[in-house]
Structure 1
């Protein structure tokens, strides 16, 4: 066989081998790409995203779009060819452990995202109403009870904790502080409103049910550090003066909190908060209205601009990442609190966009 033919055949076989390797060899990476955006002021899937019952709402134009990132699943393993293609495209290829730490399964990831999404909705409601000066009742509750713990069958998820050892509790940390004052094996006295009574009172419009019960629970030693525990996780529950429902399926995580809050502020006040402008954004939010950073900021700005956004509300801690590869024609508005966001939106609506704080220029 002529040497030239041998060389060509060998090169072809090597190329085929490399292509097969690229398809067959898995690599420890995951891919992020721009996901859908949803206007919180409008309908999605045939129903309003933000639904308020028992309080006057006002029509609004413009957009306050929450943004998402599409990611490969926890159980999906990219091959080398896909990783190279992702690196060459606008998408982000990151270590698999960045999105799914400690070998997290798809089910575990979905459950965590759903829990974070639900919590973000509650905080979004609280932050919006606080911004508007509408009182919200906050109470400490039993969030969960550990199986086979001393508290099982004595305390229940949803019980409102009023006192521990006769001392009033104002926040979840107070419960842990009171319990750990004891030694393992000692009794702790809880004064609670049972979950069923609390739920019935809330349904009847009575945020502060008066009937309480006293429950005593024996502490045991925590295996990790030996402190006294009873086997509950305390949390915060809110009682709102009217019904607020957020209808948005197939979305997880906490990053839509800011945009849900702003959508509620817009719906509960006359006029348009955006002045008809197309504004998108992202950011977690807590009960006090503080805006926190999120992941995938670059993908979200790209997705928002493709849909027509002119302004993007950006958590201050994400500004540096958002500036890297910022789409043309998109203004990154820096926000630290819901008040920052509302103030900037009012300026944008009034034609004073040049005076809002932007990433890279506060």
Structure 2
């Protein structure tokens, strides 16, 4: 066999061997890529994403308005928790413009199961919907009342099977509680092993009242006595719950969007609610997308995977992207062509930017700049 042919054959066999090894070798990485984007003003899988219900019995039934244009929330697609990339996939992901390869533990921490990660994402998504409703209605000067609820119950803790997620806490040891922090303040006055009494309105009865646009009724309250235990971190008395803020709305706002997790859609949900409840067409028919967490006061927070979301939005047709201020520097470094990144700090700030967009005063927008 000629030397040149032998060398070519050996090189080919070596390349094949390396490719096979690359396919077989698993690496501890996961990939993030652009996910679906959904118009909060439209429908998803045949149902309205935002459904504001004018049901009999509600206090002050809302007038709704038609909204044109787009206010798209954006997502990031990630590889599954059980999936293990091979070396070829990892290298390919590193070279791609529209994908990011990150350590597997970044998305799925070693100390948490896949079920725990999914549960946390679901809880964050639910909380973001609640905050979006509160922020939107407060921006519209529509009264929203607040109360303390049981956000979660620790498995194996004193409250398990006695308190449940969604229970409204009105008092602890007879002392009214108006903020989530107030619960811990009263409980920690005890020594571990001592009893404490919660006055709660069960979740089902509270939900039934809220569906009618009414406050949870004190007549539905019951007392639950718990024996405190010692916290593992600092030894204080605890009962194994996470208190949070719940709200009563003057009408029902239903957000339907399955298979989405995390808190990053909060801003776009809030803007969609405002658009449906005000005569002004917020986008003026323009295609606007965005992302960002939102709290009850309307403050917008940064999120992860910003580059993936801007790519997804532009591919869908967006011309403007509402970008949390904290994400601006990284988003502007690799901005898709034809997409204007609008720096956003709050729902009020976002509404001001939308006013400039629909009136054609886009030169007045505060755009993101590379850090």
Give the secondary structure class of the aligned counterpart of 1:306.
helix
Distance 1:235 1:297, change over 3 A: same
Residue of structure 1 in register with 2:59 after alignment: none
Which string of whole-angstrom CA distances, capped at 9 and with x for unpartnered residues, describes residues 114-144 of structure 1?
2211111111111111111111121102233
Q: Which moved more, 1:251-260 or 1:139-148?
A: 139-148
Q: Which moved more, 1:11-20 or 1:315-324?
A: 11-20
Q: Does residue 1:157 correspond to 2:165, yes or no?
A: yes
State the 1:282 CA deviation. Answer: 0.4
Tell whether the 8 Å contact from 1:38 to 1:44 is kept in structure 2 after alignment.
yes
State the 1:22 CA deviation. Answer: 1.2
Runs of at least 5 residues in structure 1 that lack an aligned partner in the other structure: none
Residue of structure 2 in register with 1:69 after alignment: 76
Distance 1:311 1:169, change over 3 A: same
Tell whether the 8 Å contact from 2:213 to 2:248 is kept in structure 1 after alignment.
no
Give the secondary structure class of the aligned counterpart of 1:140.
strand
Tell whether the 8 Å contact from 2:213 to 2:249 is kept in structure 1 after alignment.
no
Give the secondary structure class of the aligned counterpart of 2:150.
strand
Residue of structure 1 in register with 2:267 after alignment: 258
Tell whether the 8 Å contact from 1:164 to 1:189 is kept in structure 2 after alignment.
yes
Q: Does residue 1:125 correspond to 2:129, yes or no?
A: no
Give the secondary structure class of the aligned counterpart of 2:235.
coil
Distance 1:259 1:203, change over 3 A: closer
Which string of whole-angstrom CA distances, capped at 9 and with x for unpartnered residues, describes residues 287-317 of structure 1?
1111111111111111111111111000000
Q: Which moved more, 1:215-224 or 1:225-234?
A: 215-224
Q: Does residue 1:88 correspond to 2:95, yes or no?
A: yes
State the 1:25 CA deviation. Answer: 0.8
* TM-score of the two chains, using structure 1 as the length reference: 0.93
| Separation in structure 1 between the aligned mates of residue 23 and residue 213 of structure 2, nearest angstrom | 61
Match of 1:285 among 294, 306, 309: 294
Length, aligned pairs only: 361
Distance 1:102 1:326, change over 3 A: same
Residue of structure 1 in register with 2:280 after alignment: 271
Residue of structure 1 in register with 2:27 after alignment: 27
Match of 1:219 among 228, 250, 255: 228
Q: Which moved more, 1:338-347 or 1:231-240?
A: 231-240
| Separation in structure 1 between the aligned mates of residue 327 and residue 352 of structure 2, nearest angstrom | 19
Residue of structure 1 in register with 2:311 after alignment: 302
State the 1:280 CA deviation. Answer: 0.4
Alignment of 1:47-196 (within 5 A): 47-54=47-54, 55-90=62-97, 91-102=99-110, 104-196=112-204
Q: After TM superposition, where is structure 1 displaced by more than 6 Å over at least 4 residues in a row?
A: none
Give the secondary structure class of the aligned counterpart of 2:82.
coil
Q: Which moved more, 1:341-350 or 1:192-201?
A: 192-201
Question: Cα RMSD between the aligned structures?
Answer: 1.9
State the 1:154 CA deviation. Answer: 4.2
Distance 1:277 1:84, change over 3 A: same
State the 1:320 CA deviation. Answer: 0.8
Tell whether the 8 Å contact from 2:148 to 2:243 is kept in structure 1 after alignment.
yes
Which string of whole-angstrom CA distances, capped at 9 and with x for unpartnered residues, describes residues 169-215 of structure 1?
12111111211122112232323334444334334443041224344
* TM-score of the two chains, using structure 2 as the length reference: 0.91
Q: Which moved more, 1:145-154 or 1:230-239?
A: 145-154
Give the secondary structure class of the aligned counterpart of 1:185.
coil
Give the secondary structure class of the aligned counterpart of 1:101.
coil
Q: Does residue 1:345 correspond to 2:351, yes or no?
A: no
| Separation in structure 2 between the aligned mates of residue 327 and residue 156 of structure 1, nearest angstrom | 46
Alignment of 1:198-237 (within 5 A): 198-211=206-219, 212-237=221-246
Distance 1:65 1:154, change over 3 A: closer
